[in-house]
Structure 1
Amino acid sequence: MSESKPQISILVVEDDAGDLGLIQAHIRRAGLRRLGDGEPIAWASNLVDGVRMATAARPDVVLLDLSLPDSAGIATVQMMRSVVPDVPIIVLTGADDHQLAAAALEAGAQDYLVKGQFEHDALGRAIRHAVVRQKLESRLRLFEAALNSAANGIVITDVDATVVWANPAFTRMTGISLAEAVGTRPSEMLNTGQQDEEFYQRMWETVLDGRVWSGELVNRRKDGSLYDEALTISPVTDINGRIQHFVAIKQDISERKASEERVQHLAHHDQLTDLPNRALLSDRLAQALAQVRRDRATLALMFLDLDQFKPVNDTLGHDVGDLLLKEVALRLKACVPRETDTVARLGGDEFVILLAQLERAMDAVLVANKVLAALRRPFLIGPHALDISVSIGISVYPQHGEDVGQLLKNADTAMYYAKKAGRNCYRFFRAMTEAAGA
């Protein structure tokens, strides 16, 4: 079976019929043919016709003489390039002029050949190479366009982690231009110090081993603001498996992280007062119990129920009641300024205060008295001056329970004895059992 000949279409823009004949002979010798074994060459004897034919037929390659009746020199290349920017152009000229050749290539020509000096198959080889180069350049332009239009930041570094290229999304994400990025290391531009040395050591051990690394980190923009980033780094190797470059794909996930944090916050906080809810209180109480067990310390749990809250809801409506609960939450938080303590809302008009790491159980009395005094002051809700109070039950670890459930139950029980004692007061769980005759 004979070897298949390459199929190609060629536009020759040449005013000399003799030169055209020589070009045709070289092309036939090269075995170039059009689909269906037709003549691969179309001929135009001037630039105007050449431009018209190139625009209509979109040939695979244009052979362009620089000395035409209606155009000469580099302007000829520029005109043809403007109408068929994706078609390779091979300049044919009678002048063996290196400066002219360089100017033609700079103007967009793929190759430069001197007529009458073609070596065996030089023209055919030039045509084939021009077509291949054009296809490769088209692919490269496509890849570059894809990288430049990508939504994620893409950074290419050398093996020493020095930036050699970055796409526009990187600039939009960080505020750092390509010119500013090239020649620097990402760690020099973006590092916040929030990732320790061990983090980066594990990352580089992975990629230098030829494996892909993925993770999340906090980076810094040019203006100093911080953002959350999902980062993937892939090594790029040569044919011998040696790492030559790294490609980093960077995604700003700040909005996603903020959304996740909002969801987590809503899951663990009361929507009305933004105080911790029962789930978060139980978690913090469990952690506090573990800590005081280790330290052989104590903690107190205060169960609060507002006095005379129901009449507010019944007479003034739930909107006023909700505003009152918000103000109560603010006053309770002001009574326990330590970060280790927690004010939580269980629902309705029930609140809980966790006092962690107390030196002695009676320290809870100081907080209870502050709470009683704070809630006795009138609440100004719109045109209304509201007077309420609170009943407080207190349980202490380890005397009144050693787990979350028992401490909450006993504090709740102690609160009911405060109600029975006339409200607007506190009672310890032990005081309740003694009062009950236990």
Structure 2
Amino acid sequence: MKKSTRRRISILVIEDDPGDLGLIRSNVRLAGLKRIGEDDPVIWASTLADGIAAAAFNKPDVVLLDLSLPDSAGITTVERMRAAAPTVPIIVLTGQDDHQLAEAALQAGAQDYLPKAQLFQHDALGRAIRHALVRQKLESRLHLLDAALNAVASGIVITDLSAAIEWANPAFTQITGFATAEVVGHNPGEMLNSGKQDGHFYEGMWQTILAGRVWTGELVNRRKNGSLFDAALTISPVTGGDGSIRHFVAIMQDISERKATDERVQHLAHHDQLTDLPNRMLLSDRLFQALAQVRREHGTLAVMFLDLDDFKPVNDTLGHDVGDLLLKEVALRLRGCAPRSSDTVARVGGDEFVILLAQIDKAADAAVVARKVLAAVKRPFAIGPHRIDISTSIGIAVYPEHGEDVSRLLKNADTAMYHAKKAGRSCYRFFRELAETTRA
């Protein structure tokens, strides 16, 4: 026969009447709470002080507490016992069948109330003890769940079917800046709306959750102080026994820091660390996009390849620190020569730069920008105590005349730059054979 795995329970009886104690023991045995061969589960204490000491030593599963004891009486007895054993279920036993007293005992922390006259009723005590143990287990689970929900770093809210908040955990208030009292009864979507999502966004969200499906996504929310934050949000419908939706549970994470980190990583991957200009990778991507647009619109663009003249002597004589500072100043001046948002100024090598003019009407427009660049770079640079005079040579390739793809345009602009170098430097040249050199 399989051995029973039922755990033996321990019952602390705090009762000063030996006759009542004997009655309780009989009822415990009749209720099946003590099996043949088992030790007596009842621990007896005749005073509250002894009962408190017994509870601390024996760790009982349930306490049967008489309200009239030699050292304590009334509701105070419950309060003192609850303070001494806060997690142990208490069943109050009394000779008085008083509903007001019962209610007061329950409010003081008792789990149940049983007049002693009912001990003679079939299994009344057994039922009370079993129910108290079940309720205690459920309450323990609820306390554990509540502690877990309150401890997690994610913001959690529970709403009714109309999205009015019924409960919010501390993380939600910490993330949003709204106190719990401020959010209960309000719609979180309305309180946190940043205006960054349009009506179609929220319409799709509601269609999903009202259909009983989980919705996940990212959005921008607004805190109580008005600041914006990026949030990852999951909303799950909660259904009742009949399958109808009763509540929604929303779990929100503040991902602003993660998004900012991702953006920094992306920025570093696509920008030159010294000048913060786009690097060759980002330039190629923007040139590819610009080519796609001018093909659709039958337009024109230009690629300008720049190489600084006599930059190496600056590094050799003044040092690389001065050379780096000079490159940063050159980058600032080049930005000023191509102020349109569609233009791109990139650093593609040590002292090599590229300017993408994504929208021009004719090739002569590129020549205008080239002359501005030549003049800007020719102005003396003040780097610390040093006055530095340099210039630049520029090669220009125009779409579609000088190439129709990214690599061809960049290569031909580079070739044109070398022709400008050969022509005497500090000048620009278009990619075409026998082109005339224009000096600044």
Query: CA 1:191–1:398 in structure 2 vs 1: closer, same or farther (change >3 Å)?
Result: same
Query: CA 1:374–1:35 in structure 2 vs 1: closer, same or farther (change >3 Å)?
Result: farther
1:159-191 deviations in whole A, cap 9, x for unaligned?
222211111111111111221111111111112
How far apart in 2 are the matches of 1:115 and 1:253? 60
Cα distance, 1:435 vs. partner? 5.8
Question: 8 Å contact 1:307–1:388 — kept in the other structure?
Answer: yes
Q: CA RMSD in A?
A: 1.9
- Aligned partner (choices 346, 349, 352) of residue 350 of structure 1: 352
Cα distance, 1:42 vs. partner? 1.1
Counterpart of 1:295, as a letter, is E
* 1:222 has 2:224 as partner: yes
Counting only pairs closer than 5 Å after superposition, residues 242-261 of structure 1 correspond to structure 2 as 242-261=244-263
Query: CA 1:3–1:110 in structure 2 vs 1: closer, same or farther (change >3 Å)?
Result: farther
1:36-69 deviations in whole A, cap 9, x for unaligned?
5221211111011111111111111101111100
1:315-349 deviations in whole A, cap 9, x for unaligned?
11111100100000001001111000000000110
Match of 1:40 in 2: 41
Counterpart of 1:350, as a letter, is E
Match of 1:263 in 2: 265
Match of 2:185 in 1: 183
Match of 2:122 in 1: 120
How far apart in 2 are the matches of 1:172 and 1:35? 56
- Aligned partner (choices 382, 402, 405) of residue 404 of structure 2: 402
| 298-307 or 20-29: bigger deviation | 20-29
How far apart in 1 are the matches of 2:299 and 2:178? 53
- Aligned partner (choices 288, 294, 297) of residue 295 of structure 1: 297
Unaligned runs of 5+ in 2: none
Cα distance, 1:6 vs. partner? 7.8
* 1:416 has 2:418 as partner: yes
Structure 1 counterpart SS, 2:117: coil
Query: CA 1:178–1:267 in structure 2 vs 1: closer, same or farther (change >3 Å)?
Result: same
1:200-242 deviations in whole A, cap 9, x for unaligned?
2222222222222222221111111111111112221122222
- Aligned partner (choices 195, 200, 203) of residue 202 of structure 2: 200
Structure 2 counterpart SS, 1:116: helix
Match of 1:25 in 2: 26
Match of 2:311 in 1: 309
Structure 1 counterpart SS, 2:348: strand
Match of 1:139 in 2: 141
* 1:323 has 2:317 as partner: no
Cα distance, 1:370 vs. partner? 1.1
Tell me how many residue pairs correspond in the alignment: 435
How far apart in 2 are the matches of 1:2 and 1:159? 49
Question: 8 Å contact 1:6–1:31 — kept in the other structure?
Answer: no
| 330-339 or 175-184: bigger deviation | 175-184
Structure 2 counterpart SS, 1:193: coil
Question: 8 Å contact 1:8–1:34 — kept in the other structure?
Answer: no
Match of 2:55 in 1: 54
1:238-291 deviations in whole A, cap 9, x for unaligned?
222222111111111111111111111111111111101111111111111111
Identity of aligned residues (%): 72
Counterpart of 2:366, as a letter, is A
- Aligned partner (choices 410, 422, 426) of residue 428 of structure 2: 426
Cα distance, 1:434 vs. partner? 4.2
Cα distance, 1:22 vs. partner? 2.0
Counting only pairs closer than 5 Å after superposition, residues 160-179 of structure 1 correspond to structure 2 as 160-179=162-181
How far apart in 2 are the matches of 1:2 and 1:228? 58
How far apart in 2 are the matches of 1:50 and 1:433? 110
Match of 2:94 in 1: 93
What TM-score do the two structures reach when normalised by structure 2? 0.95
Match of 1:78 in 2: 79
Question: 8 Å contact 1:375–1:388 — kept in the other structure?
Answer: yes
Structure 2 counterpart SS, 1:265: helix
How far apart in 2 are the matches of 1:61 and 1:83? 13
Unaligned runs of 5+ in 1: none
What TM-score do the two structures reach when normalised by structure 1? 0.95
* 1:107 has 2:101 as partner: no
